[in-house]
Amino acid sequence: MNKVFVGLGANLGSPADQLSVAVRALARHHALGLTEISSLYQSVPVDVPNEQPDYFNAVVGLETSLTPRELLLLGLDLEKKSGSMPEKFKAPRRLDIDWLLYNEDVVDESGLKIPHPAMTRRAFVLVPLAEIAPLFRHPLFGKTIAALRDGIAIDGVKQISRGSTWCHTDKE
Ligand code: PH2
Ligand code: MG
Ligand code: MG
């Protein structure tokens, strides 16, 4: 069984609802076991070229027999089902699914890089990830997620719903 962490984001439509629907779809999937759900966070968009609504973000932990490429396709399918367009790069979106970590493996294929290359400088990823997996080690940096989070500014990431209650699964 493989241990995976996935980042979810949305800043169009009803972001919390779309994230919640995505988590429930992951929870129902026969080849995925949902193991952790972070709180829900809100933050100003970073690395975007124009003004956009705030992002809502969360991270969930999974156990799965699926390969990284199968997960990529599953994520793209969920993005599409949410009504997310095959968006322009860095455009606002109804659902963004980013595969962050897959065991301590390093995957470097076209369209699929794990660990996610930007995760170590993104507070909206490291804050929720550190909440559910503080001691998980980043395979390229050799540091724990908690240590990576402690090395960046995180004050812009606001916790807006504590624990997993926001996504209405039976997982606490
Ligand atoms: N996602 C992006 C670009 N910028 N900013 C925040 N705060 N949250 C995101 O999920 C996010 C972003 C592209 O995927
Ligand atoms: Mg993203
Ligand atoms: Mg993405």
CA 27 – CA 90 distance, rounded (Å)? 27
Residue of the nearest CA to atom 2 in ligand 1?
A: 90
Q: Is the CB of residue 64 less than 8 Å from the CB of residue 35?
A: no
pLDDT tens-digit readout, 68-93: 999 999 999 999 999 987 667 788 99
pTM of the predicted structure, to 2 decimals = 0.96
Residue 150: which CATH number?
A: 3.30.70.560
Q: Are 39 and 159 in contact (CB under 8 A)?
A: yes
Domain residues for 142? 2-166
> For residue 137, what is the DSSP state?
B
95 domain residue, yes or no? yes
Can you tell me which atom of ligand 1 is nearest the CA of 10? 10
How many domains would you assign to the chain?
A: 1
Note the ligand closest to the C-alpha atom of 11. Answer: 1
Residue 171 lies in a domain: no
Percent of the chain surpassing pLDDT 70: 97
- Burial status of residue 91 (CB atoms within 10 A of its CB: 0-12, 13-18, 19 or more): middle
